[in-house]
Structure 1
Amino acid sequence: MADWSQYEAPIRVGAFAAVFLILALAELAFPRKKRIRSRLTRWVSNVGLLVISTLVLRFAIPVVAVGFAALMSERGIGVFNLTAMPVWLEIILAIILLDLAVWAQHVIMHYVPPLWAFHRIHHMDEDLDVATGIRFHPGEMVSSFAIKLGAIALIGPAAVAVFLFEILLNAASIFEHANIRLPAQLEPHLRKVIVTPDMHRVHHSVYPEETNSNFGFCLSLWDRLFRTYRDQPRDGHDAMRLGLDKRPAGDPARLDYLLLAAFRSSQAARTHKGSNEA
């Protein structure tokens, strides 16, 4: 691998931390929607879930995406490794195709029951903010990473393209879940290209027809192209409810619930009247 690869992890983590901090501060300055749960309780649980999920992933699949891409290049596996094109063009095309792969993986998570059992933990969050962008069950982390490796093996992108995409994907996940109010004149134009927080918030609605829409992470193109795009929530952003009406009994803000609910059957959820305090 190239010499830059030894700095891949710290650069990626540093970029993630910077985006997370900047958008967390933006949430305080320009909030979009009033919270219904304690930020402290949710954040402790969501951060704890991230730590556990990351450890499980590293144990289950002891390889990083960039290293796997380099291995595929060395062995000539994947479409791009069988073709010749300028590096800049390969990077652009690889990022676009990887974003399509993540869109498809997200759709699969919703429609394959065993995978939905894991992914629904992400959707049970009753508020939406930057901490929701790290709320993923270990089962989802492992299965989604396995799908990503399959996409890398098929596409054969350069390691540097995967490196840049990983940074972009992490930033997009935090941005689209951020509870920030974008300028009204900017947001409609911005969502023509990328997934905005308002666009993704629809995906976290309690209504199934809205939950099963707006699957994109970076580019909004795929939802428009495959007719899964929904412009606005039917109840409006201020009044819309977030989370899942049908879920296992318990408190979806507790860490133990996040870990175990994936293995429990769903039932109609009671309305939780949470605190509005930080």
Structure 2
Amino acid sequence: MDDAPAEPTTRYVVPGIDNLHVRMGSGTSYPVVGVLVPDARVVGIGAGDWLQITQGPLRGACVSSAYLTPDAPPEQPGTPCPRLEGRVTSDDQFANVRSGPSFGHPVVGRCQRHEAVSGSLVGQGPWIRTDRGYVNGGTLTFHTGDPTTINGRISERLLAPIPLHYNASGTFEPGYGPTTIRYLNDAALEALHLLQRSFRRRFGHYATIDLTYRSYAEQEFWFERFGSPRAADPGTSNHGYGLAIDFEERDVPWRFSWGAPANDWLLTHQAGFGFDNPYAATLQHGEDYHFNFVG
């Protein structure tokens, strides 16, 4: 019988050290992308003598298990990770910079595709304070210097499953149905929950979803079916990072079609939840149902 997948465990940085390096991979030869202070909480899965982080902005990065303990400290530190260095994940989108650490603060700038971003974690995250303002850590990658190398190759344990009641009711290839588990970047899912609660108050139901994270193989499937430009080249789609959502699409005019009340609502309120439809400027061309998480 195959061994069951390892379950994430909670650990804490041991007291009595200055800080603990967070690295791109499980070894001291990998670059440092952040530091954790003593008593900081870490959730992850063991990888030899290292722990791969599975929650928060540093998901995918690694810390040495030698400096971790299962014993919780009396109190959590105010700033568990005083320094982070990552890159904007998206290949063709941006990451919003806001004046404060929430979606309620206005957007004051943008970090462009794969741009280097450094700063400190606000509380337990996901917001990161930078010299330019606040960036949502869900828009950044910390465990590789080249985000394209993980597109479509992210382990499900580094993503978050969306509730089944958000799923569209239909069935379609390759193998989707109302009970098929979809996955998102965890910070994007937190934002989606906020959007869904507000959407349901307005319309009486959730904004139903067709597609979220796509593996590289699934990106190949859609590219073979539709080609460019409707389908992104495999390995370049924001779906491959768990940062894109396709709300339910139909072959006839539908609630998420251009000009429909539900689509108008999403376009009006998208920035307030950290999402962006890159085709919104046209209002007639492109994917009316496609929204990227940009923080």
Which TM-score bucket, shorter chain as reference? under 0.3
Name the one with the larger helix percent.
1
Whose relative contact order is higher, 1 or 2, with alpha carbons under 8 Å and at least 6 apart? 1
How high is the TM-score relative to the length of structure 2?
0.25
How high is the TM-score relative to the length of structure 1?
0.26
